[in-house]
């Protein structure tokens, strides 16, 4: 079932990318740019949210990373779940910043102006790819909250089991 879901997601992503290139050839860059800016803002927000999660959940790990002494707790095995969206959001931000400076330059090259429709399609294809990637990262930011909820549920179950056993012992 999981494999089928993954295949459907990949096929939908490919269809969106194909449509982005095909129909994007008719969308002027001036209309595409606000979408790039919105994506840049979303990537920046994800980066900030993940940074906050890191500071809240792994303060000891962050202290160690910056050379400050730790109080000894070493339960940092899930830090990659948080780091991956931050790293990928950074890559997306860098790409978007580069597009912001390269697009006006490329518009000045006469040879490229002859193929404007193709470059519009490529630009919109890039926008589709980065947007799908950002959607995946947004979904990935849910995982830490789910991990916290799962751990809290286990703690509650453990506490109720201890309370139940304590009650049995007292009788």
**pLDDT by residue (tens digit) across 89-117?**
899 999 999 999 999 999 999 998 899 99
> Residue 70 has what DSSP assignment?
P
> Which residues make Cβ contacts (< 8 Å) with residue 47, sequence separation at least 6?
86, 89, 90, 93
Q: Are 137 and 46 in contact (CB under 8 A)?
A: yes
- Name the average pLDDT for the chain: 83
Average pLDDT over residues 40-60: 81
More confident residue, 148 or 142: 142
Check pLDDT > 80 for residue 21.
yes
More confident residue, 169 or 115: 115
> Residue 58 has what DSSP assignment?
-
pLDDT, position 76: 54
pTM value is 0.73
pLDDT, position 140: 83
Token pair of 49 as six digits: 């949210």
pLDDT, position 167: 73
pLDDT, position 69: 53
More confident residue, 39 or 167: 39
| C-alpha span between 123 and 94 (Å, rounded) | 16
More confident residue, 79 or 77: 79
> Residue 76 has what DSSP assignment?
-
Greatest mean pLDDT among 27-31, 150-154, 163-167 lies in 27-31
Handedness of CA 63, 67, 73, 74 (dihedral sign): positive
Share of residues in the chain with pLDDT > 70 (%): 81
pLDDT, position 52: 80
CB atoms within 10 A of CB 59: 13
Token pair of 84 as six digits: 């991956």
């Amino acid at each position: 079932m999981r494999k089928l879901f993954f295949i459907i997601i990949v096929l939908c992503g490919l269809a969106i990318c194909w449509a982005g290139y095909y129909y994007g050839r008719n969308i002027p860059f001036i209309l595409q740019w606000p979408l790039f800016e919105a994506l840049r803002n979303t990537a920046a927000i994800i980066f900030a949210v993940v940074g906050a999660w890191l500071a809240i959940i792994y303060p000891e790990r962050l202290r160690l990373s910056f050379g400050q002494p730790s109080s000894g707790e070493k339960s940092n095995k899930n830090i990659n779940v948080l780091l991956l969206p931050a790293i990928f959001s950074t890559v997306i931000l860098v790409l978007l910043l580069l597009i912001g400076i390269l697009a006006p330059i490329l518009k000045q090259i006469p040879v490229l102006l002859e193929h404007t429709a193709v470059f519009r399609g490529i630009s919109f294809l890039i926008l589709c790819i980065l947007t799908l990637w950002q959607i995946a990262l947004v979904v990935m930011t849910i995982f830490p909250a789910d991990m916290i909820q799962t751990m809290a549920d286990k703690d509650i179950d453990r506490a109720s089991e201890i309370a139940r056993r304590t009650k049995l012992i007292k009788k």
